[in-house]
A and B are shown apart, each in its own frame.
Chain A
Amino acid sequence: MPRPKRKAAVPTRSSDADSSARPEPKKPRGNQFNRIDQLFESYVNKTLGLIDPEGIEALCNDVNVNHTDVRMLIFAWKMKAEKQGYFSKDEWRRGLKCLGADTRPKLKKAIEGLDKELKVPECFEDFYSYAFQYCLTEEKQRSVDIETICELLNIVLKSEFPNQVNLLVEYLKVQNDYRALNMDQWRSFYRFFKEVDFHDLENYDSSQAWTVIIDNFVEWLKEKEKN
């Protein structure tokens, strides 16, 4: 007697899944999505159809994380949110699926632990570039003003490179060459912190294709050391 074919349960993996998401046996899709959407609805601005800054504020309260906290930024990164201060439905779904959270408590827990997401270097670099992009508010905008850059550095890099960030921020505030920086320059900061030892600046080689602002920064550091 032929046996009825049973449909194999295919564990679906979202294309955004990162290292923290493990393939769990999925409940019927419908439920999970519903709960995620409900959460979305709880914060959405009805007229816009998006979660706006107010909604984000509310979310922050609920999860007990300040909106300037780096974890909110990581959250936005997970969502691949395009516009600063706003989350679309797709983005929301993407983010929450990624975190494996579909209830408020789960979301809170997930967001609280977001800073651990950056342990893998490739992830961090991706996040780091995203952080800059997130600040480009205007269409065709390619650079971000120095003030914002300084804030961003503090949020994103201070925990790993406290000393270096302080020096760089100090420099950025006193220099006059640039009033805004582009993505290439932004990226060069992280690489610089990773690759160059601040105690060993004598070996720094300006012909090594570091950005000009980094060259100038090193000059400034050397001068500072002399005095």
Chain B
Amino acid sequence: MSSQKKRTFQIEAFKHRVVVDPKYAEKTWKVLEHAIHEIYNHNASGLSFEELYSHSPLPLDGVWNTLFRIHQFMPWCKNSEVAWNAYNMVLHKFGEKLYSGLVTTMTSHLKEISQSIESAQGEIFLEELNRKWIDHNKALQMIRDILMYMDRTFIPSSHKTPVHELGLNLWRDVVIHSSKTQARLRDTLLELVLRERNGEVINRGLMRNIIKMLMDLGLSVYQEDFEKHFLSVSANFYCLESQKFIETCDCGDYLKKAERRLNEEIERVSHYLDPRSEIKITNVVEKEMIDSHMHTLVHMENSGLVNMLVDDKYEDLGRMYSLFRRVPTGLTVVKDVMTAFVRDTGKQLVMDPERLRDPVDFVQRLLDLKDKYDKIINMSFTNDKTFQNALNSSFEHFINLNARSPEFISLFVDDKLRRGLKGVGEEDVEIVLDKVMMLFRYLQEKDVFEKYYKQHLAKRLLSGKTISDDAERSLIVKLKTECGYQFTSKLEGMFTDMKTSYDTMQGFYASQSDVGDSPSLVVHVLTTGSWPTQPSPQCNLPSELLGVCEKFRAYYLGTHNGRRLSWQTNMGTADLKATFGKGQKHELNVSTYQMCVLMLFNNADRLTCKEIEQATGIPLLDLKRCLQSLACVKGKNVLRKEPMSKDIAEDDTFFFNDKFTSKFFKVKIGTVVAQRESEPENLETRQRVEEDRKPQIEAAIVRIMKSRRTLDHNNIVAEVTKQLQSRFLPNPVVIKKRIESLIEREFLERDRVDRKLYRYLA
């Protein structure tokens, strides 16, 4: 007897004497054999072993306990002879015989069982198998109990398979892997799955039991006998099905079907397969139904991704997202197609010549486009960050394709602040401004935007045409947060000037004792650096004005020493009281230039363009525009023109239009509203921007070189670009030119040996 580490009983407890006799062993074995047979036979008689077990829990230790149990449930066993015999045999080293006898007996029984299963017809096959399996398990349990001592002593020491496991292995080898049963079992199971997939109801409980049996026999049995084939058959099934669907369904329907199948499989696993199969079968479905047809689906004509996007099909898009997410590169495909489409749409939008006529509409469409895709990403793509980023980069790409985007965005803001946001609540104003900021962030040329914004703001402030000071300031704060103090300091300066001017006017009128008949003057004093500079040649103001203008100048220079004032006659407005032919009086709101022109007609009935030019000193181009606005616009034609053409020639003659009528008392003719620039103006602005950039680039280069002392060319370009990127994207050629200029002026030098290296010269 092998030495055992754990002894759970004392040999001394046995009072029986032990006899070592081969014949005894034989006899003993016969008894045991008979017992095993009985167990199997009693299986057939359907004894309820559960009842027998119910009285006491099974203590597992000790042969005595075992004997006790055997007494309880084997009434035909007159005494504990059986177990005692077993014990004996082991004890006397006949364990080998016992064991091999066990194997033989069990095997022969199982062969019988196997045959009975093989001969089962049709539907009965699985049921029979199931039943016999259940019985076998019960029998096995009992046999194990009887032979428990052997299980715990002889078997470990002789490295044999324990009883329970032996029983399972034999079942597997004899019954399951019998040549007739193995394939039949597999095919039957697969057949049932197929029928269920085709809509039939099958016996899930039975399936579950059979599958569990395979699991109990070992994971490799489950996998080799069932799962492997299940997966490959499923792959075929879904391959064919997906092909059929692709040919007959549109994208949305297909996705619905795919989703349904996926859910079905998951549910199938939960009901009667091993949980570990779930991932494998879902992979199969994903591969066959989604992965194989990804591109076909996405690009499907009339129903693919692009159509879904255009038609805002949130549900379909959501389904596509959640399905494609399951396959590698699925979402990348979706994202790429979406990105390309957005870029394309955006590009068409910004390059369309029709759209370029109306800047406000242009920007509104951009905002609408963004809103649309924001909603799609929110509703259907679970706010996926990579999609959000792709959308942003698309916008950044196409907005900058149109060099006039910065100007247009400023015009949009101008329109909103001038009238668009009239009567809109504070919160909603903020929403609009935030959206504008979002577009602003996409701009590469933020300095261009700044230039236009300044111009438009100046016009708004000077004409008093802003709907809300708060809204104006709110936007400036947002710009400051985004771009820093430098960006907005001048803008804030403009606001300050307006306020200061107001105070100055108060002071001026307080100081004038006698106002008399002179026209009332409102002066805005603008600090030159803060306001958009436009060279303004002096035009000749009407004599009626000269007096009060001089008074103001004297007053102002009296209180502010050392300053210089120059009238900006291209930026002012005037209100004129005019009386026409039939005595109808109107108040005309005009620009300063227009005022100069009109006042001439107090002293002359007719004047040619040339004469007006000479008298007023207004630059010809501006004058022509001015005259057009006074004579060629219906409802505002306070002047009459001969000939009546729209173009102004030098010899054209102008008359005061006696017959002018308007249903409004106040008539607005001023042309101070911000408009999109003409081509030549645009070119000029661009040139000014380019000129402004040069010193900024140089300053950046000097800053960098001062701290780094020596640096190579590529790094300088990279650093400069990085430093300036919040304002504009510098052209590397321009940077190079600036470096050369700095070399010439001896701020930097080029290294003698390494041409690419520059050095800062203190």
Contacts and interface: CB of A to CB of B under 8 A. Distances in A.
Interface stretch (B53-61, B130-138, B737-745): B737-745
Given A184-B750, A191-B755, A215-B733, A209 B712 contact: yes
Given A182-B744, A184-B744, A184-B750, A209 B737 contact: no
A11 to B, nearest CB: 32
Interface residues of A, number: 16
A167 interface: no
Contacts of A212: 733, 736-737, 740
Contact of B743 (A184, A191, A210, A215): A184
A185 B712 CA distance: 17
B280 interface: no
Contact of B744 (A142, A188, A209, A215): A142
B740 A211 contact: yes
Interface residues of B, number: 15
B507 interface: no
B713 A208 contact: yes
A31 B743 CA distance: 47
B732 interface: yes
Interface in B740-761: 740, 743-745, 750, 755-756
Interface in B149-186: none
B446 to A, nearest CB: 25
A194 to B, nearest CB: 11
Contacts of B740: 182, 184-185, 211-212
Contacts, number: 36
B232 to A, nearest CB: 55
Q: Looking at chain B's contact residues, is the secondary structure mostly helix, strand, loop, or mixed?
A: helix
Contact of A209 (B733, B745, B756): B756
Contacts of B750: 184, 187
B744 to A, nearest CB: 4
A226 B717 CA distance: 31
A20 interface: no
B714 interface: yes
B714 A207 contact: yes
A208 B756 contact: yes
Interface string A207-227: 111111001000000000000
Contacts of A184: 740, 743-744, 750
A188 B739 CA distance: 14
A209 B745 CA distance: 18
Nearest to B713: A209
B714 to A, nearest CB: 6
A207 B756 CA distance: 10
14 contacts: A142-B744, A143-B744, A182-B743, A184-B744, A185-B740, A191-B755, A207-B714, A207-B732, A208-B713, A208-B756, A209-B713, A209-B736, A211-B736, A212-B733
Given A207-B717, A209-B714, A211-B740, 14 more contacts: A142-B745, A182-B740, A183-B744, A184-B740, A191-B755, A207-B732, A208-B713, A209-B712, A209-B736, A209-B755, A211-B736, A212-B740, A215-B733, A215-B736
